[in-house]
Structure 1
Amino acid sequence: MRVPSSLTLAPLFAIALVAPAAFGAERAYVPVEQRFNADQLKATGLDTLSAQQLQLLNQLLSQDQTAVVTDTVKQVRSERKGLARVDPEVVSSTLKGEFRGWSSGTVLELENGQRWRVIDGNLYLGKPQPAPKVTIRPGMMGSWYLEAEGQTPKAKVTRLD
């Protein structure tokens, strides 16, 4: 493949920086001399660089690639947080006050300040428990399930705040 001699280095460097970010952070940096064939290296003038210059160029491009990937990952995570009201991580806390159970519509307030509404499930305790520990885990298709320590049934819940 022949590269036009009017080709500047800027577009090649832009491609070298952006392409790995588009395919994910796990893609390792590939040195310039492995990315281009002899004609391309000659057309861009990269064949005239000393070994030290080529090493420095690869180091700089690798650092830029890492920065682009890091920024992209941060941006995607930030955008995802805007779409989801909660992070898809397990929530462990304690219920505030006495616990007597739940039914559809019950609002459960946690010590960490979160409030969750039961949308499916029932649990009735004969004797109230003082502030049991609870765990809320993500389920399929954006659902969340709460379980109280020592209790078998789970409640399907949604976060209120």
Structure 2
Amino acid sequence: MRPNRLFLLAALFAATLPLQAREYVAIEKRLSADQMKATGLDQLTGQQLDLLNRLLSDDQQAVVKAAREDSATKVRGASFSDEGVKSISSALVGELRGWTRGTELTLANGQRWRVTEGDYTSMKRISNANVTITPGLVGGWYLQVEGHVPRPKVTRID
């Protein structure tokens, strides 16, 4: 198999990997025997197959890292570190008495967020409260308003 064709095949598989950080699964475990034969991968030596798996695994990690960095760029004020995304802290601008799906919230740092999940009604007005927006475990962002328990799921709108 020519090196360019092998690289193209490796890039194709890497591009289709999910953007979640999960353990790499060896190519020979993902493809059937017929698929291995059809792609010519069945002709690789054990050493070549190990190298291909190592390259695909490294590429998967690079794709995940790039996707996370791209996500941070879309959500200004968030930065990435080895531990992952940091939270965004600011204050609400103005007053509100709660939220429902679709409520738009403006923060003192200029960011605007829309509630995508969650309802809450407060008995008193919430004015200029401190807020923290943190990433969820499976994706998405959650708003914590100081002094209020519900945490609606939110998305950046600007």
- TM-score where L is the length of structure 1: 0.48
Question: In terms of Rg, which structure is larger?
Answer: 1
- TM-score where L is the length of structure 2: 0.49
